[in-house]
């Protein structure tokens, strides 16, 4: 697991977590899918089918790699699982390298054996006295068994090798006795060093001891495992004892709290019983009585009733509490009945409110229905009126067209008549009359009835100017508009002058009447009348001309 994350067993959890996060970001399938899609878009020259196959293989590899990393982190992140993994890993590595390590120890016992045992065996054996003793005992047993086997082999050999075999047996027995008596690791190393020196000196039986040394260490490992399990059991037992001790302490603390609670409750009940307005229950009365009886020397005597108390119908306190409990039960029943009635009342009130709301909704619906009916009627009437209007409009369309035709005909007729009059007037305007008789009308001249006085209609308008204007319609229309404005202005001035003259005549008449009253001269009056009549006669043609012009 450490190799998967690229970590070291000596690293902390935070350091391993940083390595896990970095590897997870690199090997996550989603991140690799995004990068592969980006690479496929950039590599346009590659085959599409081959690129997709490579992507699938790459995604599978990344997925497997990511799963391995996640599994490694799930084990190394948990302290218990990590310790178990470390133990298993150390034992596995030690088993794989046991032959190699044994041979190395056989070749170089001295400091190498101590380093091997300190670096590998001691961490695995948890550096405990029990484990060390178990390993040493296993070594001694293994060496003794090996010696017995060697003795059997030596008896079967030829006579010429008996002397050498006996010398090897003597050396082996001495080493076995030494190993079986040692109790520390330093003594084991020292004895093994002596064996090495004997091997180097060519002592018989040394090679057999060195060959069996690896199996001896295997026995050490097995014994260390058993010792480890025993130590784990002892640790669990110690934890169990510790937890039981803590449970006892918590129980004692709970009892103290319960005692404090009881004292506070009794004090509250005492104050409650001494207060006239405080309420309490029968169960609280029984609790207080039990606490009071527990503190009294003769609890049974306190509840005794004397003969005099019996004659006065005095009851024991327990009987009173029982009666109080019965009354309390009856009260609870009544309260429950009242609550049930209140619940029914609330339910009926809710039903009534709901019925009222439904009635209001029904009224609103009825009103809305009526309004809808009225609206529908109005819509029908409006549609009917619209249809009638459309029908009348269609009927009137013929009349309108007929009226338009008649107006068009009348306009045409009017235009024709106007053109006839215009032609006649133009013809009249082109005539030149030299005679100045009373019955001749010259251009721009108008005679009175007596043929004496001439009124000029437009003194500034001559024949040459009119002929020039006739050739240009736009200029003629502008000139006509200007002349019309002048005509209206002059007509207004004329009417104002006529009104002024009439007012002056009226004032003169009033003055005349006053003068008749003041002077009384008939001759002057007659002369004045004649003059006024003459003036009125002269003013009559002017008024007639004004009325004609107004028409």
Q: State how many domains the chain has.
A: 3
Measured over the CA atoms of residue 523, residue 526, residue 528 and residue 534, the dihedral's sign is negative
Residue 148 lies in a domain: yes
- In whole angstroms, how far apart are CA 185 and each of 10, 87, 117, 191, 204? 26, 22, 9, 10, 26
pLDDT at 392: 85
Residue 333 lies in a domain: no
Are residues 178 and 71 both part of a single domain? no
pLDDT at 462: 45
Domain boundary among 240, 259, 286: 240
Locate 161 and state its tokens: 């090798």
Q: How many CB atoms lie within 10 A of CB 272?
A: 15
List the helix and strand counts (H, then E) for the chain.
19, 2
What tens digit of pLDDT does each residue of 180-205 get? Answer: 443 444 444 455 555 555 545 555 55
Residues 6+ apart with CB under 8 A from 470: 476
Residues 6+ apart with CB under 8 A from 459: 444
Domain boundary among 18, 48, 77: 77
pLDDT at 408: 92
Q: What domain range includes position 499? A: 472-550
Are residues 179 and 40 both part of a single domain? no
3-class secondary structure, 551: coil
User: pTM value?
Assistant: 0.27
Residues of the chain with pLDDT under 50: 34-35, 37-38, 41-54, 56-57, 110, 112-113, 125-130, 132-133, 143, 168-189, 199, 296-302, 305, 311, 432-470
pLDDT at 97: 63
Q: How many CB atoms lie within 10 A of CB 90?
A: 15
pLDDT at 464: 43
Are residues 234 and 130 both part of a single domain? yes
Domain boundary among 48, 77, 106: 77
pLDDT at 437: 45
């Amino acid at each position: 697991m450490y190799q998967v994350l690229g970590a070291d067993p000596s690293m902390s959890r935070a350091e391993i977590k940083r390595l896990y996060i970095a590897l997870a970001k690199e090997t996550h399938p989603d991140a690799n899918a995004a990068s592969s899609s980006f690479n496929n878009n950039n590599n346009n020259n590659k085959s599409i089918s081959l690129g997709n196959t490579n992507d699938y293989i790459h995604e599978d590899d990344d997925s497997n790699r990511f799963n391995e990393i996640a599994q490694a982190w799930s084990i190394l992140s948990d302290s218990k699982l990590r310790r178990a993994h470390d133990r298993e890993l150390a034992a596995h590595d030690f088993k794989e390298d046991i032959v190699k390590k044994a041979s190395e120890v056989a070749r170089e016992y001295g400091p190498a054996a101590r380093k091997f045992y300190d670096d590998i065996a001691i961490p695995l054996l948890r550096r405990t006295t029990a484990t060390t003793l178990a390993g040493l005992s296993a070594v001694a047993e293994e060496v003794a068994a090996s010696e017995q086997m060697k003795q059997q082999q030596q008896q079967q050999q030829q006579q010429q090798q008996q002397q050498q075999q006996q010398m090897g047996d003597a050396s082996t027995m001495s080493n076995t006795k030494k190993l079986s008596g040692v109790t520390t690791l330093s003594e084991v190393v020292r004895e093994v060093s002596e064996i090495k020196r004997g091997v180097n000196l060519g002592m018989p039986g040394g090679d057999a001891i060195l060959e069996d040394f690896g199996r001896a260490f295997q026995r050490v490992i097995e014994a260390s495992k058993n010792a480890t399990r025993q130590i784990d059991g002892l640790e669990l037992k110690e934890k169990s004892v510790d937890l039981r001790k803590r449970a006892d302490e918590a129980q004692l603390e709970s009892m103290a709290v319960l005692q404090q609670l009881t004292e506070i409750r009794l004090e509250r009940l005492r104050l409650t019983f001494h207060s006239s307005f405080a309420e309490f229950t029968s169960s609280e009365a029984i609790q207080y009585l039990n606490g009071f009886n527990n503190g009294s020397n003769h609890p049974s005597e306190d509840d005794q009733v004397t003969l005099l108390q019996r004659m006065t119908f005095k009851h024991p306190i327990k009987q009173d509490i029982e009666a109080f409990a019965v009354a309390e039960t009856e009260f609870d029943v009544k309260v429950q009945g009242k609550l049930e009635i209140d619940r029914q009342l609330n339910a009926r009130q809710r039903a009534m409110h709901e019925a009222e709301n439904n009635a209001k909704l029904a009224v609103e619906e009825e009103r809305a229905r009526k309004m809808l009916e009225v609206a529908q009627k109005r819509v029908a009437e409006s549609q009917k009126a619209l249809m009638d209007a459309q029908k009348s409009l269609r009927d009137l369309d013929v009349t309108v067209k007929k009226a338009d035709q008649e107006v068009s005909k009348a306009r045409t007729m009017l235009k024709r008549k106007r053109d006839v009059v215009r032609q006649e007037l133009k013809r009249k305007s082109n005539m030149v009359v030299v005679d100045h008789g009373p019955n001749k009308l010259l251009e721009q001249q108008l005679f009175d009835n007596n043929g004496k006085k001439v009124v000029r209609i437009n003194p500034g308008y001559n024949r040459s100017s009119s002929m020039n204007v006739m050739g240009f319609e736009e200029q003629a229309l502008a000139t006509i508009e200007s002349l019309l404005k002048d005509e209206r202005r002059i007509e207004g001035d004329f009417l104002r002058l006529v009104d002024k003259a009439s007012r002056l005549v009226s004032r003169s008449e009033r003055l005349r009447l006053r003068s008749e009253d003041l002077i009384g001269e008939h001759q002057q009056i007659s002369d004045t009348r004649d003059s006024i009549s003459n003036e009125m006669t002269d003013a009559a043609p002017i008024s007639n001309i004004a009325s004609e012009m107004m028409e």
